[in-house]
Structure 1
Amino acid sequence: MSSAAEREIRDAVVVRLRELAPGARIIHELNVAGQGTNRVDVAAITPNTIIGIEIKSEKDVLKRLTDQMKAFRKCCHFVAVAAHTKHFKEYRDDFWRADVPSELHLNHPEFYGKNRWEDGVWRYPRPEKLKYDRPSWHFDINATSWKFPLRSSDLLQMLWAQELRVEAGRHRLPSGSRETRGTLIQSMSLMMTGREVAEAVCRQLRARAFAEADAPIFQDVREVAA
């Protein structure tokens, strides 16, 4: 069960995701099958894009963040870490003038001193604006899905065997009971385009039952006889 500190950030993340990706299905604790035991804290699933947000409250540590981000980037078109201000510290470059103010950077080797634009970092409490009046907690939903292409096999690992059969059958690929999860992923990766795979995975995730999520969205999801 999440702590009150985490729930506070989680609720704010959900509000922002609904603003940036209206119509997306919000899913909590999305298991990243095939990518270890990691779970995406909050995911937003559009018809063709997966957005994953990892939450680090003031009670958390950043020890696992590298492995988590590596796993999430294999199966999410956009990944961000929403972290409490506690996890940030001031940063200055040696060549900055004295009148240039310090910046707050996430205190983690992947981000500290390397991410001046706060790309993929959502600082909590959320600042109204970043430098140069850039909006905070932002991504471009219209560019996200093509800017960061994912491997089809990594995306398909997120689906269960029956979900894979449904989508394989939809594309007239072998989908009978003799097909294993591995052979389904192999044939779908070879015979379907990247866009078709993304849409297939999103379609199934939008319809799947979860312990905590928005109501399922059934977008022409149909069963295929074994």
Structure 2
Amino acid sequence: MLYDKDIREPLFDFLEAYYGKIRILEEKQMGRSRADIVMVLPSSVVGIEIKSDADTYARLQRQVKDYNQYFDYNYVVAGSSHAMHIEEHVPEWWGIITVEQVDGEADFYILRKPKENPGVSQKKKLSLLWRPELAHIQELNRLPKYRQRSKQFVMEKILLSVPGDILREQVSQELFERDYTRIEEIIREYKKR
């Protein structure tokens, strides 16, 4: 039986070998759920839900709804106890990775590749960014600073002004560059300006 803790680190290695350049963010709040893993690719953001052998499907319906709003693509990583039925519990555009224990190691197999999520909300995805990251996107696109305006207002202006394909890459770039060790300093600097 594989638990979440047995899956995570080997999964990161598997994803890096499969995709190349990635950044992993763990336990990201989105709506009423928490994404187990957010995988940042050069031009998209991927939500990954882990269903280990010890998990149930009790919260999965709500989680799927939240993931579908925030991420360009989604995966479920299912332990072997879920492998036969996981397709019944996630939309057809979700990718499925199965994991089982082979010779004491987690072994991964892509059962189904993800398709682009038709329900992603670019506004919800933008909300994953911190205010200084949004300010950098404003600067890159020569938008007014809107310093006294709310985060929601700024996101609306970005969505109206920046073409979708450019914005996708810029959001990914901001998440690639995110520095959790400097967040307090970055926010303090942003507020001073």
Instruction: Bin the TM-score by the shorter chain.
Output: 0.7 to 0.9
Conservation of the 8 A alpha-carbon contact between 1:30 and 1:43: yes
* 1:219 equivalent in structure 2: none
Matched, 1:123 2:98: yes
Q: 1:7: which partner in 2?
A: 5
Q: Distance in 2 between matches of 1:126 and 1:199?
A: 36
Question: Which structure has the highest strand share of the two?
Answer: 2
1:159 equivalent among 92, 106, 129 = 129
Which of 46, 61, 66 is 1:51 aligned to? 46
Which residue of structure 2 lines up, in the alignment, with residue 173 of structure 1? 143
2:105 maps to: none
1:55-112 CA-partner distances (Å, limit 9, x unpaired): 1112222111111111112222221111212234xxxxxxxxxxxxxxx222x8535x
Is the CA contact (8 Å cut-off) linking 1:20 and 1:138 kept in structure 2? no
State how many pairs are aligned: 177
Higher helix share: 2
Q: Paired residue for 1:136?
A: 110
Residue in structure 2 matched with residue 218 of structure 1 by the alignment = none
**5+ residue gaps, structure 2:** 103-108, 182-189
Deviations 1:123-179 (A, max 9, x none): 22189xxxxxxx625637xxx6xx446332122111122211121122111224212
How many angstroms apart in 2 are the aligned matches of 1:19 and 1:58?
Answer: 24
Please list, as runs of the form range in 1=range in 2, the aligned pairs for 1:57-96 lying within 5 A after superposition.
57-88=52-83
Matched-pair contact (CA < 8 Å) for 2:96–2:112? no
CA distance in 2, matches of 1:24, 1:87: 27
Of structures 1 and 2, the one scoring higher in RCO (CA 8 A, sep 6+) is 1
Q: Give the letter aligned to residue 81 of structure 2.
A: K
